[in-house]
Chains A and B, each alone.
Chain A
Amino acid sequence: MRHVRGFDVARPLSIAMLVFMMMPLVFLPLASIFIFGTSNGLDKFWAALTAPEAIFALKLSMATSFWATVFNVIFGLFAAYVLSRYNFWGRNALIVTISLPTAIPTAVAGFALLLLWGPYGTLGRLLTPGFQIMFTAFAIILANIFVTFPLAFGVIKPVFDTMSHSLEEASATIGATRWQTFWYVTLPSLRGAIVSGALLTFARAVGEFGSTILVSGNLAGRTQTAPLYIFAKFNEGQIEAANAIAIVLALFSFLIFSVLFFARDWLDVD
């Protein structure tokens, strides 16, 4: 590459090219949500956003994602602890199994859950007719757990692996119980991994569509999450309603990834 008095042409050119390539792929689709959503005036937008069914869908999404996140972080922590501290026969098989849900299409995941817990499913038929799991909020949580299963684990386990074992040994010789060691020594070192694992899980769960639509029944005001609401309203031709929620979800993911990106220093603070 030719350098003209220290000016490298490749630099601005390649940056411009990168931005140009990302335009139709990412920027423009995102921008159009905001342009269309607000084109009929902010009043319309606000009305669409505060429609009872819309509010309900957003709340349901947040609540089901929250519980799935709580479960998966605790489970991921536990699984990472067991799988990095102990070596046993079948350990690798367990690691692969935990990571498997990322590779399974979400529709397949939802279908599998239906086959297990549905009214005529393997386990579902054992439940009393009055207490069914499928087509309730629990089903959505179950689907979220399944789909986001490996995310927190995947972030926490490497930190466990690289953590020096002598820290825990030191704590034990100082006189700490296993629980104290975990609470005061191990957990603080995992803080960053736990927070980023939780955010990733939550973001992924809020956006989940494929499995949710199968297991929830998509009942407006009862089991309709935000992504299902967008899909339903779009099918009904109510573009503004779908658009308002789409904006909220897009902003929400911006927020989560900004936290992940800009709080990195805080999360990894020594």
Chain B
Amino acid sequence: MVKAKETLIPRHEEPASSAPPSPAAASVIGLSKRFGKTSVLENISFDVAEGEVLVLLGASGSGKTTILRIIAGLEMPYTGKVILHGKEVTELPARERGVGVIFQSYALFPKMTVEKNIGYGLRIRKRKRKEIRETVNELLSLVQLEEHRKKFPSQLSGGQQQRVAIARTLAYKPEVLLFDEPFGALDTQTRVHLRREIRALLKKVNVPSIFITHDQEEALELGDRVAVLNVGHIEQIGTPFEIYNRPATEYVATFLGAANVLDAVVREDSLEVGSAHIPATLDKTRFQSGDCVKVVFRPEDVSLNPGDIPRSGYPRLANALIEEIAFVGAYERLRLRLEIGAEECKTDETPFYLTTETPDRQPTKSIIATRPKPEASTTRLHVGERVVVALTSFTVLPPQVLKGAN
């Protein structure tokens, strides 16, 4: 993974994310899983540090739920190990692992009141009545459900049920919390509200957590780190900032929001995209002159200016023709046809990702750009107009990254 121009945007200085502070609260090593002859997981390894929130992000069928179920002990891995706080638990049944699972359906016990649900973990551990009552009271106030303590789950809203589910697992002090698409059943407004609440709650109780989701926005907002899964292997693990701004693979780039992908050839001090050149100095150990690479950039990384001079010193990419302008609320989205001639390095493989906002790369060489409202209203652009395109930030990927490499 190489950032083409280190100085283009100020980068948040963050601790090296690939090595979380030891000891890991939970780790999986070399996990694989098969159902019959179909392999659903291949060599999955990651650590979760104490108090950290890791999000497993992937489309349906990427194997994220299976990973969660293996950690919880509800499923056996084909190979690999699960380690919780330094202790190997791969062979232990679910009940002896001390993990807390928040199921998508919450799985609250319908015949127990809120109180009874929360106290269940302590009751089956034969704790003293007084201790159970105190813990339940504490948790009820933590999740702000004191006035609902005598209610049954069916009398609560989805968000309240979820808070009960969290409190129920916190009661027995789990080694790690596992969330299985916890917001899947809720409407958009509640989801956004709840995930902020839960993020704050998790930071308060400081229990290491693993979330699974297919929603990239949710992953970026909730996770201290995010692992992007694709058909059973991890494409990249990193902070939300890293995976969004420095995607390791084309899949990661396109899965996390819209991305423009152009084929390019590495030259001495630039990248050649068709007839256009982007000045860039690349890491010589990874890219050599003449290599075919892909240039990946987000729609908001595209800077447009009418006329022929790029905006405030950003490296000019090419001229482009505006094909379409759409107003999408917070910003303006434009589709542009780049005037760059034929790209020299056309790779045969045509990756197909289900990202609606990613434009077709071949053969039109259309790109998508977005402009924030202030810019859109001060510098008006029209369909059919010629503009000069510059990139404020981009990532260069070798075209065929091996599976799982990063």
Question: What is A's interface to B at a CB cutoff of 8 Å?
Answer: 164, 166-167, 169-177, 180, 184-185, 188-189, 191, 270
Using CB atoms, name the residue of chain B closest to A188: B111
Using CB atoms, name the residue of chain A closest to B116: A184
Number of residue pairs A-B, CB distance < 8 angstroms:
71
Task: Give min CB distance, A270 to chain B, whole Å.
Answer: 5
B93 with A172: CB separation less than 8 A: yes
Q: How far is the CA of A172 from the CA of B120 in the complex (A)?
A: 11
Interface centre among A170, A171, A180, A191 (most CB of B within 10 A): A170
Residues of A within 8 A of B169 (CB): 173-174
Pick from A175, A188, A191: contact of B124, CB under 8 Å: A175
B110 with A270: CB separation less than 8 A: yes
Using CB atoms, name the residue of chain B closest to A174: B121
What count of chain B residues pass the 8 Å CB interface test?
A: 29
B109 with A166: CB separation less than 8 A: no
B109 with A169: CB separation less than 8 A: no
B168 with A174: CB separation less than 8 A: yes
Residues of B within 8 A of A184 (CB): 109, 112, 120, 123-124
Pick from B94, B112, B120, B172: contact of A169, CB under 8 Å: B94
Contacts A172-B95, A173-B94, A184-B112 supplied; 16 other A-B pairs, CB < 8 Å? A164-B105, A166-B103, A166-B107, A167-B107, A167-B110, A170-B109, A173-B97, A174-B95, A174-B168, A176-B95, A176-B124, A177-B95, A177-B124, A180-B124, A189-B111, A191-B111
Task: Give min CB distance, B71 to chain A, whole Å.
Answer: 10
Residues of A within 8 A of B74 (CB): 169, 172-173
Task: Give min CB distance, A179 to chain B, whole Å.
Answer: 10
B124 with A170: CB separation less than 8 A: no
B73 with A189: CB separation less than 8 A: no
A169 with B95: CB separation less than 8 A: no
Question: What is B's interface to A at a CB cutoff of 8 Å?
Answer: 72-74, 93-101, 103, 105, 107, 109-112, 120-121, 123-125, 152, 154, 168-169, 172
Task: Give min CB distance, B60 to chain A, whole Å.
Answer: 18
Residues of A within 8 A of B97 (CB): 173
Known: A173-B72, A189-B110. A166 touches B105 (CB 8 A): yes
Residues of B within 8 A of A171 (CB): 109, 120
Known: A174-B120, A174-B168. A167 touches B109 (CB 8 A): yes
Interface centre among B73, B110, B172 (most CB of A within 10 A): B110
Q: How far is the CA of A184 from the CA of B100 in the complex (A)?
A: 18
Q: How far is the CA of A166 from the CA of B169 in the complex (A)?
A: 14
Residues of A within 8 A of B109 (CB): 167, 170-171, 184-185, 188
Residues of A within 8 A of B168 (CB): 174
